[in-house]
Amino acid sequence: MIEFSLNGENVQTDIDPNTPLLWAVRDSFGLTGSKFGCGAGLCGACTMHVDGLAQRTCILPLSAVAGKRVTTIEALGSADNLHPLQQAWIDYSVPQCGYCQSGQLMSAAALLEQNPEPSLAQIDQAMSGNICRCGTYPRIKQAIMAAALSYDATTKEGA
Amino acid sequence: MRIKNLSRRRFLKTTAVVGGGLVVGFSIFGLSEDPLPVVTESDGFVPNAFLQFTADNRIIFYCPRDEMGQGVMTGLATVIGEELDVSPHTMEIVHCEVHSDYANPAMGIQATGGSTSINAHYRPLRQVGADTRALILAAAATDLNAGINELKTEDAQVLYNGQAYPYGRFIETARNLDPVTDTPLRSQADFRYIGQMSRRTDALAKVTGQADYGLDAKVEGMQYAVLVRSPVFGAKLLSFDDSAVANKPGVSAVVSISNGVAVVADSYWHARQAATALRVEWEATEHSSLTSEQHRSELTSALDSDDETTAIDEGDIQLGFADARAQIDGSYWTPFLAHAPMEPMNALVRLGANDAEIWLGIQSAQAAQNLVSRVSGIPTENIVVHNLFLGGGFGRRGVATHVVEATEIAMAVGTPIKLMWSREDDIQSGFYRPASIARVRAAVDGNGVITAWDVKRAGGDITPGTVKNLLPAIFPSLPSGLANGVASTVGFLFSNLSPDSSSVEGLHENYKFANVQVKNSSIDHGVPVTFWRSVGHSNNAFVAESAMDELAIAANIDPVDLRLKNTVDNPRLNNVIRIAGERMREMKLPEGHHLGFASHGSFLTDVAQVAEVSIEDGIIRVHKVLCVLDCGLAVNPDIVRTQMEGGIIFGLTAALYGEVSLEAGRVKQSNFHDYQMLRMSEAPDIEVIIVDSKTDPTGVGEPSVPPIAPAVANAVFRATGQRLRDLPLRLKG
Ligand code: FES
Ligand code: FES
């Protein structure tokens, strides 16, 4: 039995602890926003936050998140309460097929959490583990820069 | 409960005189007699195949083309919404099911591809929108006791006497009126949505993880399957040993089907883990020892073979070389490529006693329906296709062998089956852009006029294999023997009479040459090939536009001027070349940066690109790309821009990395570590200039791909003096 926090809720499961977190979350908990692109940690489609850090969950065994906080795209924001990055993604028409975008957003959100004012080079570095076959990189970059401005303002207001 | 919309449809037939005076009946677009696969909501009104108005004032648009990232839902909603006077953001937009009304007017079957969607639906869907609005207005005039001329509309509302009434208010009356036809379309000056829209209608779902793809589909009682396929294409199964598999956790069955051995389990992870323990013997084929070196050398020898067909032979080539100022002679290589859409292939199939459902994202829902029917024997009218968002298409989801696989496994096992391909399956057992080699001999005179253009291409052809896969998908009851027979006839024709146009497209058509000859030798090495974003243009623009650059350099002519001189009969292409050329001359370059130019028209759209390149530590870096295009009227200029950006990055991946190679008849690459994709840190800044136009829109999904590889290669020559004639581009030494 493995217990962890999934999007703020304590959950437990008795499936095989070697199962990658991606499949546990998608198939046992029914949250299908995180995607499968390579199964080898090479594309970032499966990115979730584990204790606030972006992780490739297709190669992360369930056992590794015991007692930890897991956050998926479903909890980043919702239609009526979008995360600044999600709003920027819409404003800059980032998604094409959209399949990679949950992972892109989770990587970007982890970046801003750590570094609310990233330089272009820092964005490149943080985002280069996420492949987009549709080629939305230029828009992702613009959207992160735009979100960083409002994100910064929000956090400062809150402070 | 599914209620098919039978009784409330009103039908309208008309006749027309077609060529030769033959009178035929045809149904007006969206109004054929077959029952529609539309779930009518209680009191909903379905005036045609594309629209439903509900009593609670929602308007549902059944989008006939498949959303694979190209923005077709937003685009077609804009087109129909323009005349219906409903904002695309006011509509609910869903993928349609299978029905003859949803056939692509450019193809005659229900399929999405060839950058045809906006062009082919631009007028038909506007007509549907205009006629439907006219019907609503007629109903409103009756209900409000007003003259039609006193009524206006604005975003799904009828305006009358200072009041606004939602369209839904009039559907009870509208459903009893005769359909309206031939309503005049708006003039461009009155457009409210076309040419304006920027945001995509599917963005919210895609940024909140709520957009559903085939991978996300579920049904009660389903099992997961993975399929072990032959590593050598087309090899037959000899035997398998599942003794180490059957007792692995979660495994419920191991079955052999036409295309391999399936491991079925209670989760994808269990099925995938267990499959590694399967031992399978495959028969050897004539290609079991094929290597890339052998393949390339056979294509190269074919350049001198006269076992060839002729695409064009005009003027006198020898004469063209006679008084040349400069000549070139070079051979260009383009490799096999995988599509690698981010979502690997998958399909969920549920078979009932005499009904079935399939969930997937596909470029032809009709093909999926027909293939399920063909394999299971269940009639097509009892098969529901749930077409979901496609996690990338690029041509790959135009092939549906995974539908056959999933249906065969479901039949063998007796439960609903979700078949999932891994990335390794995708790279190693898929379909590919054909590899090719092409030799260009060309000459230019003292005035910059190209006097001879002589091309010989050798490589695989797409169409015979496509016919073999597609015929059963179009005609589900066609015996396979016949499908294979037609396919080999097509193959025979291409080898003996006239080339497969997919193989030679883009080798000469953009220019007007007085003396021109293009020939092709078809060579099949058993590697399954299919459409890959921009198809033959993806190979052939590299050939033609590299050769143009070489010719310009050999004759000491500006490469832009050379193109301008030889495109005077092609004014739209000539114009984008001129605009891009002027911008190129103004560009200020940092030390060590160099520019390359290429232009190419494909899918009715003309594109010119300038690539700014430097060499850093022996690596080709692309910093900026300027892209000028004429695609007619841009229905959604921002989506046009995204298609240019995406196509350029897709093409750059091919230019810098893309290569599927063979060893012992098998694909060597397996995942993104050795089949690399461009990443954000390598993506250039891209500027897109859309030429103002009032002509009908043309394709944008593919035309930005072809010019980028030659633009970069031409810049690399200026940076290094190395003329790279092989893709992917690799610097020597
Ligand atoms: S699916 Fe996890 S990194 Fe690709
Ligand atoms: S939007 Fe399609 S892969 Fe990124």
Task: Give the full edge-to-edge strand order of the sheet including B417-420.
Answer: B251-257, B260-265, B223-228, B417-420, B346-351, B356-360, B383-387
Q: What letters, b where the CB count within 10 A reaches 16 and e where it falls short, cover B28-58?
A: bbbbbeeebbbbbbeebbbbbbbbbbbeeeb
- φ, ψ for residue A114 (rounded to 5)? -90, -30
Q: Is residue B479 part of a domain?
A: no
Closest CA in chain A for residue B270: A19
Contact list, B391 vs chain A (CB under 8 Å)? 35, 97-99
Contact list, A75 vs chain B (CB under 8 Å)? none
Residue B237 has what DSSP assignment? E
Q: Are B204 and A78 in contact (CB under 8 A)?
A: no
Distance (Å, rounded) from C-alpha B579 to C-alpha B375?
A: 54
| Distance of CA A134 from the midpoint of ligand 2 (Å) | 4
| Distance of CA B258 from the midpoint of ligand 2 (Å) | 32
Q: Taking chain B, what is the end-to-end CA distance rounded to the nearest angstrom?
A: 67
Looking at the structure, do residues B135 and B224 belong to the same domain, yes or no?
no
Looking at the structure, do residues B275 and B353 belong to the same domain, yes or no?
yes
Closest CA in chain B for residue A19: B269
Beta-carbon contacts of B322 under 8 Å, excluding residues fewer than 6 positions away, are none
* Structural tokens at position B551: 């010719």
Nearest alpha-carbon partner for B122 in B510, B608, B631: B631
Q: Is residue B32 part of a domain?
A: yes
Q: Coil, strand or helix: which one is B542?
A: helix
Q: Is residue B678 part of a domain?
A: yes
Indicate whether residue A101 lines ligand 2 (CB < 6 A). yes
Q: Is residue B427 part of a domain?
A: no
Question: Which of A20, A27, A98 is the closest to B202 by Cβ?
Answer: A98
Distance (Å, rounded) from C-alpha B682 to C-alpha A130?
A: 12
Report the domain count for chain B: 3
| Distance of CA A120 from the midpoint of ligand 1 (Å) | 24
pLDDT score of B198: 76
Indicate whether residue A127 lines ligand 2 (CB < 6 A). no
Boundary-marking domain end, from B167, B185, B207: B207
Indicate whether residue A56 lines ligand 1 (CB < 6 A). yes
- Does A120 touch chain B if contact means CB atoms closer than 8 Å? no
- Does A69 touch chain B if contact means CB atoms closer than 8 Å? no
Closest CA in chain B for residue A129: B679
Indicate whether residue A105 lines ligand 2 (CB < 6 A). no
Q: Are B599 and B545 in contact (CB under 8 A)?
A: yes
pLDDT score of B478: 65
Q: Are B130 and B140 in contact (CB under 8 A)?
A: no
Q: Coil, strand or helix: which one is A10?
A: strand
Q: Is residue B544 part of a domain?
A: yes
Picking from A6, A15, A93 by the largest number of B CB atoms within 10 A of its own CB, the best residue to mutate is A93
Boundary-marking domain end, from B148, B179, B207: B207
Model pLDDT for residues A26-45, shown as the tens digit of each residue: 999 999 999 999 999 999 99
Looking at the structure, do residues B701 and B637 belong to the same domain, yes or no?
yes
Indicate whether residue A45 lines ligand 1 (CB < 6 A). yes
Closest CA in chain A for residue B654: A133
Give the number of whichever ligand sits closest to the CA of residue B653: 2
Picking from B66, B70, B89, B208 by the largest number of A CB atoms within 10 A of its own CB, the best residue to mutate is B208
Looking at the structure, do residues B191 and B274 belong to the same domain, yes or no?
no
Q: How many CB pairs under 8 A join A and B?
A: 184
Indicate whether residue B319 lines ligand 2 (CB < 6 A). no
Q: How many CB atoms lie within 10 A of CB B202?
A: 22
- AA letter at B462: I
Indicate whether residue A41 lines ligand 1 (CB < 6 A). yes
Residue B150 has what DSSP assignment? G
Distance (Å, rounded) from C-alpha B521 to C-alpha B304?
A: 9
- Report CB contact under 8 Å: B392, A97: yes
Q: Coil, strand or helix: which one is B465?
A: helix
Q: Are B206 and A101 in contact (CB under 8 A)?
A: yes
* Structural tokens at position B97: 């099911």
Residues of B numbered 330-389 whose beta carbons fall under 8 angstroms of chain A's beta carbons: which are they? 340-344, 389
Secondary structure (DSSP) of B70-116 = S-HHHHHHHHHHHHHT--TTTSEEEE--S-GGGS-TTTSSS---TT-
Q: Is residue B274 part of a domain?
A: yes
Indicate whether residue A61 lines ligand 1 (CB < 6 A). no
Distance (Å, rounded) from C-alpha B582 to C-alpha B691?
A: 14
Q: What angle do CA B486, B491, B495 make, to 5 degrees?
A: 145
Beta-carbon contacts of B258 under 8 Å, excluding residues fewer than 6 positions away, are B404, B408
Taking chain B (733 residues) in runs of 10, the rounded mean pLDDT of each run is: 35 31 41 82 94 96 97 97 97 95 91 93 97 98 97 98 97 95 96 90 97 98 98 96 95 97 97 97 96 98 94 96 94 98 98 98 94 95 97 95 97 98 98 98 96 97 78 68 65 72 95 96 94 97 98 97 97 98 97 98 97 97 98 97 98 98 98 98 98 97 98 98 98 89
Q: Between the CA of residue B698 and those of A106, B45, B355, B722, what are the distances in Å?
A: 36, 33, 39, 36
Indicate whether residue A99 lines ligand 1 (CB < 6 A). no
Looking at the structure, do residues B562 and B603 belong to the same domain, yes or no?
yes
Domains and CATH numbers, chain A: 2-75 (3.10.20.30), 84-155 (1.10.150.120)
Indicate whether residue A83 lines ligand 1 (CB < 6 A). no
- φ, ψ for residue B17 (rounded to 5)? -100, 120
Model pLDDT for residues A118-129, shown as the tens digit of each residue: 999 999 999 999
Q: Coil, strand or helix: which one is B11?
A: coil
For the four alpha carbons of B315, B318, B323 and B327, in that order, the dihedral sign comes to positive
Strands (E), B649-717: 662-663, 666-667, 685-690
Looking at the structure, do residues B90 and B233 belong to the same domain, yes or no?
no
pLDDT score of B662: 98
Ligand 2 pocket test, candidate residues B70, B215, B342, most atoms within 8 A of CB? B342
pTM of the model: 0.94
Boundary-marking domain end, from B180, B207, B234: B207
Looking at the structure, do residues B196 and B88 belong to the same domain, yes or no?
yes
- Does B673 touch chain A if contact means CB atoms closer than 8 Å? yes
Distance (Å, rounded) from C-alpha B266 to C-alpha B220?
A: 12
Contact list, A128 vs chain B (CB under 8 Å)? 679-681
Looking at the structure, do residues B147 and B277 belong to the same domain, yes or no?
no
Q: How many CB atoms lie within 10 A of CB B10?
A: 12
| Distance of CA A55 from the midpoint of ligand 1 (Å) | 10
Question: Which of A23, A74, A79 is the closest to B268 by Cβ?
Answer: A23
Ligand 1 pocket test, candidate residues A50, A58, A73, A104, most atoms within 8 A of CB? A58
pLDDT score of B467: 74
> Using alpha carbons only, how large is chain B's radius of gyration in Å?
27
Q: Coil, strand or helix: which one is B659?
A: coil
Residues of A numbered 70-89 whose beta carbons fall under 8 angstroms of chain B's beta carbons: which are they? 72-74, 76-79, 82, 86, 89
Indicate whether residue A94 lines ligand 2 (CB < 6 A). no
Nearest alpha-carbon partner for B600 in B552, B640, B633, B567: B567
Contact list, A134 vs chain B (CB under 8 Å)? 69, 342, 392, 646, 650
Indicate whether residue A132 lines ligand 2 (CB < 6 A). yes
Q: Between the CA of residue B92 and those of B62, B323, B360, what are the distances in Å?
A: 9, 64, 20
| Distance of CA A43 from the midpoint of ligand 1 (Å) | 5
- φ, ψ for residue A131 (rounded to 5)? -90, 140
Distance (Å, rounded) from C-alpha B596 to C-alpha B589?
A: 12
- φ, ψ for residue B254 (rounded to 5)? -130, 120
Q: How many CB atoms lie within 10 A of CB B343?
A: 30
Q: Given the CA of residue A22, which atom of ligand 1 is nearest to it?
A: 2
Distance (Å, rounded) from C-alpha B398 to C-alpha B196?
A: 31
Q: Is residue B11 part of a domain?
A: yes
* Residue with token string 């080339």: B499
Range of the domain at B712: 292-337+433-461+499-720
- Report CB contact under 8 Å: B678, A135: yes
Distance (Å, rounded) from C-alpha B632 to C-alpha B698?
A: 6
| Distance of CA B341 from the midpoint of ligand 2 (Å) | 8
Q: Between the CA of residue B667 and those of B278, B337, B539, B642, what are the distances in Å?
A: 20, 11, 20, 32
Closest CA in chain A for residue B223: A27
Q: Are B466 and B501 in contact (CB under 8 A)?
A: no
- Report CB contact under 8 Å: B342, A100: yes
Q: Which residue has the higher pLDDT, A114 or B490?
A: A114
Indicate whether residue B342 lines ligand 2 (CB < 6 A). yes
Looking at the structure, do residues B135 and B240 belong to the same domain, yes or no?
no
Looking at the structure, do residues B524 and B454 belong to the same domain, yes or no?
yes
3-state secondary structure B329-355: EEEEEECEEECCCCCCCEEEEEECCCC
What is the band of A154 on the pLDDT scale with cuts at 50, 70, 90? low
Distance (Å, rounded) from C-alpha A1 to C-alpha B533?
A: 47
Q: How many CB atoms lie within 10 A of CB B195?
A: 16
Cis peptide before B728 (omega within 30 of 0): yes
Ligand 2 pocket test, candidate residues A93, A99, A102, A140, most atoms within 8 A of CB? A99
Secondary structure (DSSP) of B239-276 = EEE-TTTTTSTTEEEEEEETTEEEEEESSHHHHHHHHT
Beta-carbon contacts of A75 under 8 Å, excluding residues fewer than 6 positions away, are A7, A8
Looking at the structure, do residues B19 and B54 belong to the same domain, yes or no?
yes
Looking at the structure, do residues B57 and B120 belong to the same domain, yes or no?
yes
Q: Are B30 and B128 in contact (CB under 8 A)?
A: yes
Q: Is residue B727 part of a domain?
A: no
Indicate whether residue A58 lines ligand 1 (CB < 6 A). yes
- Residue B216 distance to chain A (closest CA, Å): 6
**Residue with CA nearest ligand 2 atom 4:** A132
| Distance of CA B66 from the midpoint of ligand 1 (Å) | 25
Question: Which of A37, A72, A127 is the closest to B342 by Cβ?
Answer: A37
Distance (Å, rounded) from C-alpha B443 to C-alpha B717?
A: 20
* Residue with token string 């495994």: B251
Contact list, A13 vs chain B (CB under 8 Å)? none
Beta strand B605-616 pairing with B594-602 = antiparallel
Distance (Å, rounded) from C-alpha B216 to C-alpha B208?
A: 14
- AA letter at B411: M
Beta-carbon contacts of B49 under 8 Å, excluding residues fewer than 6 positions away, are B30, B31, B32, B36, B38, B62, B64, B96, B99, B101, B102
ipTM of the complex in this document: 0.97
Q: Please, is A131 exposed, middle or buried when counting C-beta atoms within 10 Å of its C-beta (0-12, 13-18, 19+)?
A: buried
- Report CB contact under 8 Å: B202, A138: no
Q: Between the CA of residue B263 and those of A19, A78, B282, B595, what are the distances in Å?
A: 17, 38, 17, 52
CATH number, domain with residue B514:
3.30.365.10
